[in-house]
């Protein structure tokens, strides 16, 4: 019989899926505002005719942004208060990530990984910084929309520019995150974000220091 061990608590799983679902809605509604969907015929897909309606994508973007921002704040406060910092990068992680990638292709041995591998700590940091930049620039853009508020047009242009660029980066990170999890040697991690459990043998092999 396969034995398992707990990898992610219910709180962590719920937070992850709230961030993931609101993040996907933000991606879809944000790119809808550029606007891309009329040009690329997304509106022709049955059920998606609304996708180029600016008012609709704007409301979805604001609602999803509120949920995303709240969940990210909760995540930061929750793990800070519990003193859980295992996913933050450590000295030497960039070099270790390169070794980790080589090991995936059979070049060199797997490192003595902890709960999170060096490459996971690096990717977490990149997703985290990108999300925070999206939140800060998004909040400034929202603030300007509140009404008779005058902000320096140069500042606003920069905020819009950084928001759009980081939105594109977020899209690529999302695709890379899902593609990486679908790789055969990462696939056993998927159930850990659903049921919380991971195969004990897999964990001992890939995260021996955990
Ligand atoms: C916008 C959407 C998403 C965001 C922002 C996001 C973000 C993250 C972050 C920051 C981590 C921790 C770092 C890591 O282990 O790589 C993580 C872990 C994880 N994510 Fe996502 N995620 C998203 C969507 C998804 C989707 C669609 C899946 C399903 C395939 C998924 C499955 C997982 C799993 C299984 C882990 C745990 C990895 C482990 O146990 O080490 N995520 N996610
Ligand atoms: C995954 C995260 C996000 C992505 C991919 C994303 C993407 C985008 C894109 C592509 C646009 C249209 C281009 C532009 O006007 O610059 C946009 C607009 C906007 N976003 Fe986001 N965004 C995200 C998160 C947020 C958050 C967290 C907020 C607020 C806290 C926010 C607030 C806004 C606002 C106010 C606009 C302009 C709406 C208008 O036209 O008045 N976004 N976003």
- Mean pLDDT in the chain? 93
Per-residue pLDDT of 48-58, as tens digits, reads: 988 888 899 99
- In angstroms, what is the span from residue 30 Cα to ligand 2's centroid? 5
Mutate to test the pocket of ligand 1, among 193, 202, 210 (most ligand atoms within 8 A of CB): 193
109 DSSP assignment: P
For the ranges 46-55, 100-109, 116-125, the lowest mean pLDDT is seen at 100-109
Task: Give the ligand 1 atom nearest the CA of 127.
Answer: 10
What pLDDT band is residue 34 in, cutting at 50, 70 and 90? confident
Per-residue pLDDT of 145-165, as tens digits, reads: 887 778 888 999 999 999 999
What pLDDT band is residue 8 in, cutting at 50, 70 and 90? very high
For 74, other C-beta atoms within 10 Å of its C-beta total: 15
Residue carrying structure tokens 């709230």: 18
Determine the pLDDT at residue 1: 64
Determine the pLDDT at residue 67: 98
Determine the pLDDT at residue 2: 77
The Cα 106–Cα 98 span in angstroms is 13
């Amino acid at each position: 019989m396969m034995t398992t061990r707990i990898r992610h608590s219910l709180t962590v799983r719920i937070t992850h899926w709230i961030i993931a679902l609101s993040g996907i809605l933000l991606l879809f509604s944000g790119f809808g505002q550029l606007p891309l969907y009329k040009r690329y015929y997304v509106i022709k897909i049955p059920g998606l005719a609304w996708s180029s309606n600016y008012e609709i994508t704007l409301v979805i973007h604001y609602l999803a942004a509120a949920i995303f921002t709240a969940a990210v704040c909760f995540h930061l406060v929750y793990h800070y208060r519990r003193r859980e910092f295992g996913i933050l990068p450590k000295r030497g992680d960039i070099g270790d990530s390169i070794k980790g990638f080589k090991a995936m292709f059979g070049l060199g041995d797997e490192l003595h990984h902890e709960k999170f591998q060096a490459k996971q700590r690096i990717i977490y940091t990149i997703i985290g910084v990108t999300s925070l930049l999206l939140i800060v620039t998004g909040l400034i853009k929202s603030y300007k929309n509140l009404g008779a508020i005058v902000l320096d047009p140069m500042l606003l242009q920069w905020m819009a520019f950084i928001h759009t660029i980081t939105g594109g980066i977020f899209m690529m990170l999302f695709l890379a995150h899902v593609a990486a999890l679908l790789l055969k040697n990462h696939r056993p991690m998927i159930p850990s974000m659903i049921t919380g459990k991971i195969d004990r043998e897999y964990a001992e092999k890939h995260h021996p220091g955990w």
